[in-house]
Amino acid sequence: MHLSLEQLTAFCAVASEKSFSAAARKLGKSQSALSIAVANLEIDFGVSLFDRSGRYPILTAHGQSLLRDAEAILHQCSSMENRANSLAAELESQVTIAIDETIPFQILNHNLAGFAEYFPPVDLNILHPSSQYIQQLIEQGDASLGIMCAGAHYPKNIHFKRLGNIAFANVVHRDHPLANLPQVNFEQLNQHRQLVYLPLLDKLPTSEYLSGTNQWRMASYLTLMNTLCAGMGWATVPKQLVLDLQLQEQLCELQLTSYPHTEWEVGVDLIWSSSERLGKAGSWLRDAFGLTPI
């Protein structure tokens, strides 16, 4: 038996895309070449990996079992390749990182100071798109590293490391009517405008309960915080952001009747692509970010 990474890649791609034609497009190969690779793998294994009787290939019981092994082998090969690339890496002229503005940036300052000290000639580009676009930038190769609110599921070529969590609070300006209530229930919240940071609309916990009948949605925390301080509504915002902007005297946290002992948190992930070869500076920054708890 002589397995090849090309055969295993073809097998995993067909299983993922549930179509030989779609898998061929994804890998940039002809459908016939992909079909031959999978067929040869089945001959080597001595089992059928897919049931081809229907319109789309369906994994057999043997295929499901062997798929886990194939994915593990490809993942290990990718890790080995990344390690080898790091050892042989050259110093790049610039590094681009994408950081969601939800992330407390000052926590990363010591990493950037170290980067400046060790790699003075390397230019650094820092982007601040929302989390929904950071993964896209990484996949397209437009950014080498991303720090973002945790995604529900990453593609196999995206590696991640959980750095910690961001604590959120439901706040309002001290002159707002809700600020006078010792406890607030859902009905009372619904009577007032909710200010929403649009990129996190579906990421905040229990967002199905904490919502207002009237919402103003904003793509920038700067706009949201200014509107919040003008008393135009209530919002769920990072606690650290309130401290960073020194707004603790202007804003107060709402005490929710249904959640008296609840800490609202969203995970934070460092992500990078296995397809992107990092140079010495990018590898150093990835390792430094990976050791930084948030």
Query: Residue 241 sits in a domain of what CATH number?
Result: 3.40.190.290
Asked whether residue 187 falls in the same domain as residue 226, the answer is yes
pLDDT digits (tens, 9 = 90+) for 102-130: 888 889 999 999 999 999 989 999 998 87
> Count of CB atoms within 10 A of residue 144's CB?
25
CB under 8 Å to 216, separation ≥6 — which residues?
A: 193, 194, 195, 196, 227, 232, 233
pLDDT of 98 above 90: yes
Structural domain containing residue 50: 5-88
Average pLDDT, the chain: 88
pLDDT of 152 above 80: no
pLDDT tier at 219, thresholds 50, 70, 90: confident
CB under 8 Å to 85, separation ≥6 — which residues?
A: 277, 278
Asked whether residue 70 falls in the same domain as residue 135, the answer is no
Asked whether residue 28 falls in the same domain as residue 154, the answer is no
Query: Residue 154 sits in a domain of what CATH number?
Result: 3.40.190.10
Asked whether residue 68 falls in the same domain as residue 25, the answer is yes
Q: What is the percent of the chain with per-residue pLDDT over 70, rounded to a whole number? A: 93
Structural domains in the chain (count): 3
Q: What is the percent of the chain with per-residue pLDDT over 90, rounded to a whole number? A: 52
Could you give the CA distance from residue 201 to residue 180 in angstroms, rounded to a whole number?
27
Residue 207 is predicted with a pLDDT of: 53
For 27, list phi and psi in degrees, rounded to 5: -90, -5
Asked whether residue 261 falls in the same domain as residue 279, the answer is no
pLDDT tier at 3, thresholds 50, 70, 90: confident
Asked whether residue 187 falls in the same domain as residue 241, the answer is yes
pLDDT of 49 above 70: yes
Asked whether residue 157 falls in the same domain as residue 39, the answer is no
Domain end, chosen from 59, 88, 117, is at 88
Domain end, chosen from 65, 88, 111, is at 88
Residue 229 is predicted with a pLDDT of: 95
Asked whether residue 150 falls in the same domain as residue 61, the answer is no
Average pLDDT over residues 35-50: 91
**Bigger pLDDT: 64 or 210?**
64
